[in-house]
Amino acid sequence: MPHPAADRWNTRYDAEGEQWLARQPRQLLIDYAHFLPPTGLALDAACGVATNGLFLAQRGLRVIALDISEIALRLAKRRAESLTLPIFPAVYDLADPWLPPEIFDVILNFHFLERGTFPVYQRALKAGGILIFETFLQTGEDILFPDYYLTSGELVRAFQDFEILHSTESPLPGIEKVTSQLVARKPNTLKA
């Protein structure tokens, strides 16, 4: 049975794939890259063409790239192979997430929200692992799909047991959207 979100994103990446590949890694990732380990395993969740995952792979990490769009992942795989980078793409619907416990050194989540991933990410990170999360914040009542937007402070509350390295809620330059950003480290004492 076709998946509506997969169909929508496949159509978009089929039409705009080269534009997505031309994008730079998210500024939040670049700004806080000094917290990343030099080696290990990373998850690029809802990765699209894995621009952020490629950035991690260039820094020495092996990257599992998950997305619902097969076309986006094919583009990511082609780019990774051309650069001989360790990116391992898999089609995966994060609407019903499961990840093995304490396996990832880094988890990235950019502009995607599925609240069910919060406890999954907490368990899937190793002690000392880094979470870099940025997605849209609800700023008004007129949002068509409010479940796709965080409420103010929600991200920090969801990861309150982590060491918060950076947290902010701020407008994106040039568009009328506000993002919530979080960079956090799983403490050594927090169990999966």
Q: Between the CA of residue 80 and those of 47, 51, 74, what are the distances in Å?
A: 13, 10, 10
191 lies in some domain? no
Helix locations, the chain, DSSP H: 4-21, 27-31, 51-58, 70-82, 117-124, 154-158
Span 110-133, average pLDDT: 96
Q: Which one, of 157, 153, 165, lies nearest residue 129 by Cα?
A: 165
- CA dist 168 and 155 (Å) reads 10
Span 107-121, average pLDDT: 96
192 lies in some domain? no
- Between vectors from CA 22 to CA 16 and to CA 23, what angle results, nearest 5°? 100
Percent of the chain with pLDDT over 70: 92
**Residue-wise pLDDT tens digits, 39-67:** 999 999 999 999 999 999 999 999 999 99
The token duo for 120 is 């999954």
113 lies in some domain? yes
70 lies in some domain? yes
Most confident listed range (11-25, 41-55, 171-185): 41-55
125 lies in some domain? yes
Domain region containing 159: 4-185
136 lies in some domain? yes
106 lies in some domain? yes
- CA dist 133 and 167 (Å) reads 10
Q: What is the CATH number of the domain that holds 140?
A: 3.40.50.150
147 lies in some domain? yes
One-letter amino acid at 48 equals G
DSSP state of 152: T
Q: Is 175 in a helix, a strand, or coil?
A: coil
Q: Which one, of 169, 108, 153, 113, lies nearest residue 133 by Cα?
A: 108
Question: In the chain, what is the straight-line distance between the N-terminal and C-terminal CA atoms, in Å?
Answer: 34
- Please tell me the total count of domains within the chain: 1
Q: Looking up tokens 């870099």, which residue turns up? A: 132
18-22, 35-39, 43-47, 76-80: segment of lowest average pLDDT: 18-22
pTM of the shown model: 0.90
By DSSP bridging, strand 125-137 and strand 87-91 are unpaired
Cross-strand partners of 163: 185
Q: Between the CA of residue 94 and those of 45, 71, 109, 190, what are the distances in Å?
A: 8, 17, 11, 24
Quick one: how far is CA 118 from the chain centroid? 12
